[in-house]
Amino acid sequence: MARRHFGTDGVRGIVGETLTPELVEKLGKAVALWSGRGRVFVGRDTRASGLELEEALGRGIASAGGSAVLGGVLPSPAVALLALDVGAVITASHNPPQYNGVKLFDGDGQKLSDESEEDIEALLDAPVRGGGEIDRVGVATDSYVEHVLERFGSDLTGVRLGIDCANGAYSEIAPRAFEQLGAEVTAIGVSPDGTNINDGCGATDLRVLQRTVVENRLDLGVAFDGDGDRMLAVDEHGEEVDGDHILAVLAPRLDVDLVAVTVMSNLGLHRFLDERGIRVVTTPVGDRYVLEALREHGGVLGGEQSGHIIYLRDHVTGDGLVAALLLCDAIRGRTLGEAAAEMPSFPQVKLDVPHTGDLPLSLMGEVERLNGDLDGTARVLVRRSGTEPVVRLLAEAPTEAEAQELSDTIVALVRESSAEASDDGSP
């Protein structure tokens, strides 16, 4: 059975349009019924719609006889660590403020499988039972910070660090955590008002952090997204350090023999890891697929170019704060710019093209043929977004000119296939 509401990372949409309190209440009921005992720990990010949707989710859980424990504003990785039978986060992660959603974790803090999401959707219209309860707790943040600092913290005395919390769930947590370790912190994006999460700040827009690092002569900067499961960095010169380069810095330091990445990862990362005898496992886009691959292959480190960095020693999922702590420790004795430069990057051209419906088989056949001709020296990638109504295009090659030429080729193929679909009356 195809999923109607779940995408790549939970249920997500524009509040009042594709995501309503009524749907979230039904989802709460379905999750409680699916989980058995129905104990659900709930967190949320700082969006204005979060309060109403938190209440709706709690009502739904209670209507199925479950117990909703509301923890307030918390990053997604904290909810994963504190999950009861289920952990639920009211968030739309890196999306703009008008979006919201629900991410789910099982009792072990793992994201749900496609099959589990299908089972939950099948219970959306199940009858209510009643008899449940809603409780609130206020100590969840302290428990999370203590867990992270004990296991991943190190002495950061003298480190001059810029932090951009995206006006999201880390706004109060991250600056305090780094200050406890001795870092000199310059914090931005720490004034959430319900409407400014991910708005010109955080991991989706590094410009303010880049200026902050350069103007204040900081050693580096780190930026989180709204719910704290992504982290990107800025070196001492204000240059972006993406998830691929962060993995390249961490992998040798953490002495791993396997790294899981997605199809979006730069070919340069593959070569960097291969030269060091570190095996690479490639997955579809989405951090939960990286997690699945790590568990299947017995690995502990993986991530995405977009900043999902996963380290499973003493943790259960990707965590932006943990990634930032590990990065600060991994570059001791050198600058972030020096560390990141050890991995050469292939130029990439990325485009989003508005699109709904499935991708034509003829288009995917042309993409496969083109990649066959390139034979690993370059590549193109075409995929549907799991969170937005667009097709994401990627062209990667040894030079900017070659990457742009490949991009132009694939854009023309997409437009041609869209025109053919319109002529056929396809959606």
Residue 7 has pLDDT above 90, yes or no: no
- pLDDT-derived band at 233 (thresholds 50, 70, 90) equals very high
Residue 419 has pLDDT above 80, yes or no: no
Reported pTM: 0.90
Q: Where are the domains of the chain?
A: 6-138, 153-340, 348-423
> Which DSSP state fits 184?
E
| Active-site residue, selected from the candidate residues 63, 93, 306, 417 | 93
Q: Homologous superfamily of 153-340 in CATH?
A: Alpha-D-Glucose-1,6-Bisphosphate, subunit A, domain 3 (3.40.120.10)
Asked, colleague to colleague, whether 6-138 and 153-340 share their fold, the answer is: yes
Q: CA 162, CA 108: separation in Å to the nearest integer?
A: 33
pLDDT per residue as tens digits for the range 373-404:
998 889 999 988 876 778 899 999 999 999 99
pLDDT in tens, 180-196: 999 999 999 999 999 99
The residue to which tokens 């042309």 are assigned: 366
Looking at domain 348-423, what is its CATH homologous superfamily?
Answer: Alpha-D-phosphohexomutase, C-terminal domain (3.30.310.50)
Q: How far apart are CA 201 and CA 183, in angstroms?
A: 22
Which CATH code, of 3.90.550.10, 3.40.120.10, 3.10.50.40, 2.60.40.10, is assigned to 6-138? 3.40.120.10
Taking only the tens place, the pLDDT of each residue in 350-363 is 998 877 778 888 88
Is the pLDDT reported for residue 420 higher than 70?
no
Known catalytic membership, residue 116 = no
Query: What percentage of the chain exceeds 70 in pLDDT?
Result: 97
